[in-house]
């Protein structure tokens, strides 16, 4: 019997049960009330209020500029729409690195002010203390390893991570450290498929991949990318399910034409 079909609300425990039952976990981002409601109704297991909102919603080049207040704004809009999915919110850059007390304060603000169910943090051993402190307050934490976009200026590029043995070994160790610290799941971004499969088979907690191959326990994509709203971003791992850029542009062009010609509104569209 499938686990995901039998739950009214997805919890961190449901995700772990899904892994034990060999059921893949589906996860997408959302940043606003309208789209989060559709994503939830479509049966997604986890909604990530990602700091990719910095790129997708605000047009920044990186995820670094988004603030804690802005993440809380997006998260509370998402929470108002969601009935079933687990809602996880990214702790933004600068709100947790290097200071576990500040990390806890940031996580508490997210939980209290948005009503979210969990937080996500980028990094391995270097943020262990912050993770443990947040967990000690009863806040579930999702980890994030591999390509961690908040460190883009350290990496220099968005290319595949952990191709070399040394970095791959470190990632495996970090995944174990995050599990021991108490993370309920880990996102692994843009690493070789074989490495993800190894980590997923070694760990008891779910591994959610993005550009990390089919061996993960689940997959996550940025909603606007998979809907084809963004034309420019087309990495190999991205499957586009719609071409919404073209659809939306076509509809708006038609509207402009109709307004200009006087075709809109017609007799039935007025009082
Ligand atoms: O912010 C985000 O959207 C993410 C996903 C890419 C996993 O962290």
Helices (H), 82-136: 100-114, 128-136
* pLDDT tens profile 23-68: 999 999 999 999 999 999 999 999 999 999 999 999 999 999 999 9
Residue 1 pLDDT > 80: no
CB 91 within 8 A of CB 121: yes
DSSP 170-195: HHHHHHHHHHHHT-SEEEEES--HHH
Distance 205 CA to ligand 1 centre (A): 19
Return the best residue to mutate from 31, 63, 148, 209 for the ligand 1 pocket (most ligand atoms within 8 A of CB): 63
**Looking at residue 5, what is its pLDDT?**
87
Q: Is the minimum distance from the CB of 49 to ligand 1 under 6 angstroms?
A: no
> Tens of pLDDT along 165-178?
999 999 999 999 99
Share of the chain above pLDDT 90, in %: 96
The pTM for the full model equals: 0.97
Q: pLDDT confidence of 191, banded at 50, 70, 90?
A: very high
Distance 261 CA to ligand 1 centre (A): 43
Average pLDDT over residues 76-88: 98
Q: Is 233 in a helix, a strand, or coil?
A: coil
C-beta of 200 in contact with ligand 1 (< 6 A): no
112-144 per-position pLDDT tens digit: 999 999 999 999 999 999 999 999 999 999 999
Sorted by where each starts, the structural domains of the chain and their CATH numbers stand as 4-240 (3.20.20.60), 243-271 (no CATH)
Atom 5 of ligand 1: nearest residue by CA position:
50
Q: Of the listed 189, 202, 247, 267, which one is catalytic? A: 189
At 4, the pLDDT band (50, 70, 90 cuts) reads confident
Rounded average pLDDT over 66-78 = 98
Q: Is the pLDDT of residue 219 over 90?
A: yes
Q: Is 269 a known active-site residue?
A: no
Whether 88 is in the pocket of ligand 1, judged by its Cβ within 6 Å, is no
Query: What's the whole-number mean pLDDT along residues 254-260?
Result: 98
CA 196 from centroid of its chain's CA atoms: 17
Cβ-Cβ contacts under 8 Å for 166 (sequence gap 6 or more): none
Q: DSSP per residue over 126-152, as a string?
A: GGHHHHHHHHHTT--EEEEEES-GGGH
What does the pLDDT read at residue 98? 82
Helical (H) or strand (E) element with 119? strand 118-122
Residue of 6, 18, 141 lying closest to 84 (CA atoms): 6
What DSSP letter does each residue of 191-222 carry, written as one string?
Answer: --HHHHHHHHHH-SS-EEEESS-TTSSEEEE-
H or E element in which residue 56 lies: helix 53-56
Q: Find out whether the beta carbon of 146 lies less than 6 Å from any atom of ligand 1.
A: no
Contact, 68 vs 76, CB < 8 A?
no
- Tell me: pLDDT of 198 over 90: yes
Q: What is the pLDDT of residue 231?
A: 83
């Amino acid at each position: 019997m499938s686990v995901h079909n039998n739950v009214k609300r997805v919890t961190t425990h449901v995700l772990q049960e899904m892994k034990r039952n060999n059921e893949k976990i589906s996860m997408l981002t959302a940043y606003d009330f309208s789209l989060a409601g559709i994503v939830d109704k479509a049966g997604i297991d986890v909604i990530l209020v990602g700091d990719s909102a910095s790129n997708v919603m605000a047009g920044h080049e990186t995820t670094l500029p988004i603030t804690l207040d802005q993440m809380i704004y997006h998260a509370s809009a998402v929470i108002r729409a969601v009935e079933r999915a687990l809602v996880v919110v990214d702790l933004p850059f600068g709100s947790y690195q290097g200071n576990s007390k500040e990390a806890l304060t940031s996580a508490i603000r997210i939980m209290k002010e948005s009503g979210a169910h969990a937080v996500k943090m980028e990094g391995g051993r270097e943020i262990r203390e912050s993770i443990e402190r947040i967990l000690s307050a009863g806040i579930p934490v999702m980890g994030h390893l591999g390509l961690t976009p908040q460190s883009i200026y350290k990496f220099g590029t968005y290319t595949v991570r952990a191709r070399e043995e040394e970095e791959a070994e470190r990632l495996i160790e970090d995944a174990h450290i995050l599990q021991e610290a108490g993370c309920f799941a880990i996102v692994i971004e843009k690493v070789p498929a074989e490495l993800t499969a190894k980590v997923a088979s070694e760990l008891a907690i779910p591994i959610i991949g993005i550009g990390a191959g089919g061996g993960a326990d689940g997959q996550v994509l940025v909603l606007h990318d998979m809907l084809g709203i963004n034309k420019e971003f087309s990495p190999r791992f991205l499957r586009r399910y719609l071409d919404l850029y073209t659809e939306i542009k076509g509809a708006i062009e038609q509207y402009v034409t109709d307004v200009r010609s006087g075709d809109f509104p017609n007799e039935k569209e007025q009082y």
